[in-house]
Chains A and B, each alone.
Chain A
Amino acid sequence: MRSVKRSITGKGIVLFLQGVRKDFKMNRTLYLMILPVILYFILFKYMPMYGASIAFKNYVPVKGISGSAWTGFTHFTRFFNSVYFIRLFKNTLIISLQTILWGFPAPIIFALLLNEIRTKWFKSSIQLMTYLPHFLSMVVIVGMIKEFTSTNGLINDIIVFFGGEANALLQKPDVFRTIYVSSEVWQTIGWNSIIYLAALSGIDEQLYEAARIDGANRWKQTIHITLPSIRSTIIILLILRMGRILTIGFEKIILMYNPATYRVADVISTYVYRTGLLEMNFSYSTAIGLFNAVINFSFILVANRLSRRYSETSLW
């Protein structure tokens, strides 16, 4: 029995290798083209996974990863029992969901509106202006935000003009998320709309012509032709975005928050930065980061499944 089994698998491998060889012969250039990509993923995505094992160890730099002692799930339990666990988790989720809620549809709507503009120079100058924040460094962006929101900054000037009272806005916990999310939209709207504009330009003009002949106005054309045509792009981008639901750029929050706004602004990634890099708890912060990655992964799985069931579009 055993020998039979082995011979079958042996044959299977041989057949598989023959198939690969044949395929390789036919598509040599394609294989060469994918090589750098494979190497990239091995080097920068798979190799570092080895490093994630320090989450289960008491990592001491000089002893190295393999030399440090195993501790099992100690770091995870410590995080789950930490007084900050619930707050961090909640803040991360809220800020992330708000960013998706406002930040995801904004570039779509923006692209649709832009698509309606027929004057070329006007369209391209608007595009140019909205790209710009994407190219500024985070420090500059936050510098501007701080300037705008200080007691004698632009926003307070407007509030005072309409009879309100000036406040140091970045010190107010109840407006921190609003400032964060709205500045996020301002920063990304132009850049993120590019992909939708590309999808829009791929729609067959004949569809619009046919619709016009049938008597559809601009609004109807948008609903029945434009949106369905870019639906799969939207869904795929949404699934990808869901996969980053707990990953919030710590840079911007670190630059923006202060003790007064910790309770609404402190998120998992800022906590990882503080405990890991500033307090040298390398293992502990890796454990938190790993936990973060697992949650992200499950979000993407769920989003993909839902999308496959209801819209027949999915990543895999």
Chain B
Amino acid sequence: MKKIVLLILVFSLMTHILTACGNQGQSGEGSGKQTVSQDADHMKKDKSTDDKAFSYPMKDVDLTWWLELTPSVAQNFSNLGDTAFAKNLQQLTGADIEFIHPTIGQTKEQFNLLVVSGNYPDIMEYNIVKNYIGGPAKALEDGVIMDITDYIPKYAPHLYKFYQENPEYDKLSKTDDGRYYSFPFVRTDDYLKVYFGPVVNHVWLEKLGLDYPETMDDWYHMLTLFKEKMGATAPLTFEPALLNTSTGSPFIGAFGIAEDFYMDENGDIQYGSIQPGYKKFLATFAKWYEEGLLDSDFASVDRNQVAAKLTTGESGASMGYTGSRLGVWLKSTEDNPDIDFIGVKYPVEHRGDIPKFTQRSFPLTGQGAYISTTCTDVEAAMRVLDYAYSEEGKMFHNFGIEGESYDMIDGYPTYKEFIMKNTEKPVAEVLGQYVRATYSGPFPQMREYNEQYGNSYEQQVISKENWTISETEKYTLPNITPTPEESAEIASILSEVNTYRDEMQTLYILGLEELSTYDTYVQNIRDMGIDRVIELYTKALERFNNR
């Protein structure tokens, strides 16, 4: 008898576990319905509270917030919640926020895993326009993020007002069919849009009696002298990923093309990596590599190795961001009279040309915060995010708290001395504890922040001036949003095309593949369906212009 009982026990345990798992599997399917009912609940709640009487801080609000912890903050904190910024934010808004971070360097993988899990934090911060295959329209259709169009006037009055006053930003923040989906990161001033470009060690230039390089021939001449006269073992070094279109396709752009998609003189969309200019670029770089002007570890170097080579004089030229690279390199070579860096103009093919492709960010990059479909308190989440677009919140996100991190001097928010002149840590790390302006986030970034942060060295100011010289607006493709179906098709074509392009680019430059096969390479890319992508992008561009 005892044994039978045991047997039954075992069986019931097993079936219990099986059904429990089954239910778990189904919870993902049900979440769509769940949100509907949550929305309904929410409407009820909304009626009971008086909208006009709302004021911060809120009470009894718990939220979870998923975002990447930026490296300069991660130097000192393992969670954003431990910083002065997050503590102040929670006090000001009255919300208890639990911050969740993916492992550094695995943001994309972990976000995609999060999407599959069906179990979302209330707020997710990411670049959905750029990194979610299918873009915001698909994310809305997949039921990952919430359509907040109807809620914005009610729960996000500051953002709403901001959009009303700035129609050009409003256009960029919607899907083609007019839905809002995010609390965006906004660059409110042209001054904030340029922050990347080519960098050289100008002490060497002076020693060699050279001018700042302008053309590709100048660069060739300069790098050769770096190698022969200054003993550089890797005159030019950078990670190949920096040749990217989003950084303005440096060096590739000299030949009148971008690495990926751009608009030509007639306004037609073109794919750069199959143009005749691209072949010229490959030939130039292959020559530079063969002559030892390009780092011999070119295809495998990482960011730290690049920094090490530059600051020890193994290399004399690279590319970098104003703060996180140029600023750091300048700081670590302050005591070395032989090394000092400055940003120079993007190289062109013929002297006197104006660079066509340089780094210039959009006012709205696609980075932003999204309310997930499993968020239980939509109003609270939106109120917390909306705070950043109020006058007070804007100041807080850019400068922190008056008296703590900045002082108002003659009406100008001035960072305290311990931030700008810290002897132990770089500005990016100190400032990162108080504000989010040094990287990105759902708030409007202000010019005054960058006038101080990006300019702790005079070299940074000059660099920025040099990098701004360009005609890039004419040729850059705006942040267009293909429909989910179009995106799926584009993604499957581009995943093959880009793998192939990256591979061939490296092989051509390293001389492992002869440039005589270039026509076959172009044909292969055409066979993979590049023209279809251009066709779909053209349609999306038309819709964008009609918004």
B3 within 8 A of A: yes
Give the size category of A's interface with B: 35 or more
> Across the interface, do B18 and A42 meet the contact criterion of CB distance under 8 Å?
yes
Q: Is the CB of A279 within 8 A of B503?
A: no
Interface residues of A in 202-258 (CB under 8 A from B): 258
Do B144 and A61 touch across chains, with their CB atoms under 8 A apart? yes
Complexed CA–CA distance, A21 and B300 (Å): 64
Q: Which interface residue of A50, A84, A170, A258 has the most chain B CB atoms within 10 A?
A: A258
- With A47-B21, A171-B297 as known contacts, state yes or no: A259 contacts B29, CB within 8 Å: no
Q: Which of B31, B495, B503 contacts A259 (CB 8 A)?
A: B503
* Closest chain B residue to A284, Cβ basis: B492
Q: Is the CB of B25 within 8 A of A50?
A: yes
| Residue from B26, B297, B507, B528 in contact with A64 in the complex, judged by beta carbons closer than 8 Å | B26
Q: Does A282 contact B (CB under 8 A)?
A: yes
Q: Among B7, B109, B112, find the residue whose CB has the most chain A CB atoms closer than 10 A.
A: B112
- A117: interface (CB < 8 Å): no
Contact residues of A between 136 and 168, Cβ < 8 Å to B: 146, 150-151, 166-168
Proximity string of chain A (56-68) to chain B, C-beta cutoff 8 Å, 1 when within and 0 when not: 0000111111110
Do the beta carbons of A259 and B505 come within 8 Å of each other? yes
Whether A62 contacts B32 by the Cβ 8 Å rule is: yes
Residue of chain A at shortest CB distance from B13 = A39
Expressed in whole angstroms, the Cα–Cα distance for A277 and B495 within the complex equals: 13
Please tell me if B5 contacts chain A, counting CB pairs below 8 Å: no
Q: How far is the CB of B34 from chain A (nearest CB, A)?
A: 10
Q: B118 touching A278 by the CB < 8 A rule?
A: no
A24-B7, A171-B297, A173-B512 known; A260+B25 contact, CB < 8 A:
no
Q: A63-B29, A67-B29 are in contact. Are A262 and B300 (CB under 8 A)?
A: no
**Do A64 and B14 touch (CB < 8 A)?**
no
Q: Which residues of B contact A274 (CB under 8 A)?
A: 495, 499
Cross-interface CB contact of B296 among A43, A50, A82, A151, cutoff 8 Å: A151
Which residue in A28, A39, A171, A262 is a CB contact (below 8 Å) of B3? A28
Measured CB to CB, the closest approach of chain A to B63, in angstroms, equals 21
CB distance from B490 to the nearest CB of A (A): 11
Tell me whether B496 and A277 are in contact (CB under 8 A). no
B38 CB, nearest partner CB in chain A, Å? 14
Indicate if the CB atoms of B29 and A260 lie closer than 8 Å: no
B478 within 8 A of A: no
Which residue of chain B has the shortest Cβ distance to A68 in the bound complex? B29
Q: Mark B13-30, 1 if CB is under 8 A from A, else 0.
A: 010011001000110111
Residues on A with beta carbons closer than 8 Å to the beta carbon of B296: 151, 166-168
Report the bound CA distance from A173 to B510 in whole Å. Answer: 11
Chain A residues near B118: list those with CB within 8 A.
Answer: 61-62, 64
Interface string of B121-149 (1 = CB under 8 A from A): 00000000000110000000011100000
B31 touching A62 by the CB < 8 A rule?
A: yes
Q: How far is the CA of A277 from the CA of B107 in the complex (A)?
A: 11
Q: Are A168 and B299 in contact (CB under 8 A)?
A: yes
Overall SS of chain B's interface: helix
Query: Cβ of B524: which chain A residues have Cβ within 8 Å of it?
Result: 83
Asked if A25 CB lies within 8 Å of chain B CBs, one says yes
Provide the B293-326 mask, 1 if CB < 8 A to any CB of A, else 0: 0001111100000000000000000000000000
Question: Is A42 a contact partner of B3 (Cβ separation < 8 A)?
Answer: no
B10, CB-defined interface residue at 8 Å = yes
> Which residue of chain B lies nearest to A31 when distances are taken between CB atoms in the complex?
B10
- B116 contacts A262, CB within 8 Å? no
A35 contacts partner chain B, Cβ-Cβ < 8 Å: yes
Residues on A with C-beta less than 8 A from B29 are: 62-67
With known contacts A61-B28, A62-B144, A173-B512, A168–B300 Cβ distance under 8 A: yes
Cα(A151)–Cα(B500), bound, Å: 26
B17 and A280 contact, CB distance less than 8 A: no
Bound-complex Cα distance A299 to B265 (A): 57
Also in contact, A280 and B300, with CB within 8 A (given A43-B17, A62-B118, A62-B144): no
For B402, list chain A residues within 8 Å (CB).
Answer: none
Please, how many angstroms separate the alpha-carbon atoms of A42 and B133 in the complex? Answer: 34
Which residues from A are CB-within-8-Å of B26? 64, 66
Asked whether B28 lies within 8 Å of A280 as measured between CB atoms, the reply is no
Q: In the complex, are the beta carbons of B3 and A61 less than 8 A apart?
A: no
Interface: B408 (CB within 8 A): no
Asked if A171 and B300 make an inter-chain contact with CB atoms under 8 angstroms apart, the answer reads yes
Q: Does A263 contact B (CB under 8 A)?
A: yes
Given A39-B17, A43-B17, answer yes or no on A263-B503 (Cβ-Cβ < 8 Å): yes
Contact A171 B142 (CB under 8 A): no
Q: Are A150 and B297 in contact (CB under 8 A)?
A: yes
B390: interface (CB < 8 Å): no
When the two chains form the complex, which single residue of B116, B240, B500 contacts A282, counting CB atoms closer than 8 Å? B116
B212 to chain A, nearest CB (A): 29
* 0/1 string, B269-300, CB within 8 A of A gives 1: 00000000000000000000000000011111
Instruction: Report A-chain residues with C-beta under 8 Å of the C-beta of B506.
Output: 171, 258-260
Q: Which 7 A-B pairs have the closest CB atoms?
A: A64-B29, A62-B143, A259-B506, A260-B506, A259-B502, A64-B28, A259-B503
Query: Which residues of A approach B to under 8 Å, CB–CB?
Result: 21, 24-25, 28, 35, 39, 42-43, 47, 50, 60-67, 78, 82-84, 146, 150-151, 166-168, 170-171, 173, 258-260, 262-263, 274-275, 277-282
Chain B contact residues, CB within 8 Å of chain A: 3, 7, 10, 14, 17-18, 21, 25-26, 28-32, 108-109, 112-113, 115-118, 132-133, 142-144, 240, 296-300, 373, 491-492, 495-496, 499-500, 502-503, 505-507, 510, 512, 524, 528
Q: List 15 A-B contacts (CB under 8 A).
A: A25-B3, A35-B10, A62-B373, A64-B30, A84-B496, A167-B296, A170-B299, A171-B298, A171-B299, A258-B299, A259-B507, A279-B133, A279-B495, A280-B491, A281-B133
